[in-house]
Amino acid sequence: MQSVKYPFLTKEDNDVYKALVGEDARERDGLELIPSENYVSQAVHEALASSLTNKYAEGYPGKRYYGGQEFTDAVETLAITRAKKLFGAGYANVQPLGGANANIAMYFALLSPGDTVLGMELSHGGHLTHGHPVTYLTKIFNFVRYGMKDIETGEIDYEEMRRVAREVKPKIILAGFSAYPRELDYAKFVEIAREVGAIAVMDIAHIAGLIAGGAVKNPFDYGFDIMTTTTHKTLRGPRGGMILTRESEDLAKKINKSVFPGLQGGPHMHNIAAKAVAFHEALQPSFKNYASQIIKNARAMAEVFEKQGARMITGGTSNHLILLDAHTSFGISGGEAQALLDRAGITLNKNVIANDTRKPMDPSGIRFGTPALTTRGFIEDDVVQVATLMIDVLTGRDDGAVARAREGVHALARQHPIPSSFIHR
């Protein structure tokens, strides 16, 4: 039987067709709790599947190396204009292919080989591209790390950061995280950066949508010079990256040259069109409600685990994610917890925690959050049910507990189908 959704794939490539149908079913029938994942609207899907995938557009609007750029210039200009409005930026580069690409381009724009970056320790919530030794970046630049002073509250040791900054004189002080459940003291970061003559950069990849929706603070309001980000996650756009500059034209020009021709060739124009659509959606009043509900839902889940006596890094959450010590709380590793919950239709990820004694491929922690659930229309009562199902699986740990949870997951998924569009006028 010919598929309505994939009419050509059924005839051209049945193997890929079966994989796509399987993923559709997994997303439809399960619950997505990975904090860096979300669902895009049908409008974003349409832009991604558009004829712009055929077009080379090396360069920037008005300054391309190939002809036929009337419509590529139009969509990229729209994306730039909307991004600047969303984040209060003076300049925006929407061409990076991902968050890592954006960070790498930012480093090469601002640094010379051997220059120092002060960034967050990975096990304290940072990201691989913030200077973890496994990355090639550490062969070129000197990364020094800071972390939390108190793991139970999440307080960053700002005085130690200041001492280290005075000592190593970093060219960049980098804020931002991939597994940190609290807000940062942006004013402190900027104060220390100004004191040592560093550029203040914030990686907002995880919280971009929360910033755009006004649910958390905007680092630009505190004087940060640059923000890098992904365009998926809480921003609910296509997979991609972006670099925002607050006001310095000089920094923006350096970033543009670093992205192209420094590191990338022709931009993916279908993806940039999808970014423009997502930014348009994020500018609608309904997006503010969405962003605030993400945080309400995360806090509601955290309260359930707190009542259970589970250990959460920083003691809870102020944003969209929770980092839980599964080993201490439930007597199993993060890898075992992830596998058990996968069987129940609940998807999250194993994650290292600060001072973890276990290895990264089977760490002590699990990381989960509420962006995708909130997109499906979950509110506090719904996520409390999800948290309860998770606890049942992690405490029961047998086939019966998994089967019971799977029934509850399917019921919640049916009640909250994945929406095809998010703009409600």
Per the structure block, which two tokens stand in for 392? 């049942």
By the 10 Å C-beta count (0-12 exposed, 13-18 middle, 19+ buried), 140 is classed as middle
| Cβ-proximal residues to 225 (8 Å cutoff; 6+ apart), any chain | 199, 200, 201, 245, 246, 248, 251
Question: By the 8 A CB rule, do 272 and 79 touch?
Answer: yes
Which tokens sit at 234?
A: 């809480």
Amino acid code (one letter) for 248: S
288 is catalytic: no
Active site residue 217: no
Closest to 397 measured CA to CA, from 343, 355, 320 = 343
**Which is catalytic among the residues 72, 230, 245, 317?**
230
Cα separation, 187 vs 179, whole angstroms: 21
Active site residue 222: no
Characterize the bridge pairing of strands 199-203 and 59-60. Answer: unpaired
Catalytic residue among 37, 58, 303, 342: 58
Active site annotation includes 171: no
Q: What angle do CA 77, 82, 88 make, to 5 degrees?
A: 120
The structure tokens listed for 39 are 């669902």
Task: Give catalytic status of residue 306 as yes or no.
Answer: no
Of the candidates 171, 233, 246, 350, the residue annotated as catalytic is 233
User: Which pair of tokens denotes residue 324?
Assistant: 């839980």
Is 203 a known active-site residue? yes
Q: Which of 32, 76, 203, 336 is catalytic?
A: 203
Could you say which of 145, 171, 239, 246 is catalytic?
Answer: 239
Residues known to be catalytic:
56, 58, 203, 230, 233, 239
